[in-house]
Amino acid sequence: MGLIECRAVTKSYRKGDTIITPLEGLDLSVNAGEFVALMGPSGSGKTTLLNLIAGIDTPTSGTLTIDGLEMSGMSAGTLADWRSENIGYIFQLYHLVPVLTAYENVELPLLLHDLTGAERHRRVSAALELVGAADRHDHFPRQLSGGQEQRVAIARAIAADPKIIVADEPTGDLDGAAAADLMGC
């Protein structure tokens, strides 16, 4: 059994009188350590699938099992705790908090973990260094270029050393060399 198992997963949304089904009957298996890229046109369900895997949303039907846990059966609180411990999400639009520095944006999800201040500092500093943004630790998002914001978002996703990293267009604002360098992290 893979780390991620989708069996006949369907996700539908209601938009006014219309039902939109970006995913229908999806079967997918991803093993631990595997790197998988989703490709397709806009509206084909890529982000919907990432949100399901990250535990942000749940399937309308079918089963989604991650590391042996059936995601549909979890309460909202249990799912939030699980997500905090297991998922690093690099959002397409970064979702950095504008009133927090790059350092604070990376540290924010670590506040949910039972870590000392020194351990949080070590992890934030290491993540920012790894993505090449250590020199921007005290800058606010408005003071960063798009590529620098993207690096901070990546650092935030990896700082907790999650089991799964879900990335929605994680290198869109980076040039080819920088993107290749970051994907090797």
The 3-state secondary structure of 120-132, one letter per residue:
HHHHHHHHHHHCC
Specify the pairing of strand 4-15 against strand 61-66: antiparallel
In a domain, 79, yes or no: no
**DSSP structure class, residue 179:** H
Predicted local confidence at residue 86, as pLDDT: 94
110 and 24 inside one domain:
no
Show the domain range for 37: 4-73
Domain final residue, candidates 23, 49, 73 = 73
Q: What is the mean pLDDT of the chain?
A: 91
How far apart are the C-alpha atoms of 39 and 45, rounded to whole Å?
Answer: 10
Task: Find the mean pLDDT for residues 86-105.
Answer: 94
Q: pLDDT at residue 2 above 90?
A: no
Query: What was the pLDDT predicted at 110?
Result: 96
pTM to 2 decimal places: 0.84
- Whether 1 has a pLDDT exceeding 80, the answer reads no
What value does the mean pLDDT take over residues 150-179? 83
The structure tokens listed for 148 are: 């620098």
97 shares its domain with 170: yes
For residue 158, what is the domain's CATH number?
3.40.50.300
Least confident of 28-42, 67-81, 93-107, 162-176: 162-176
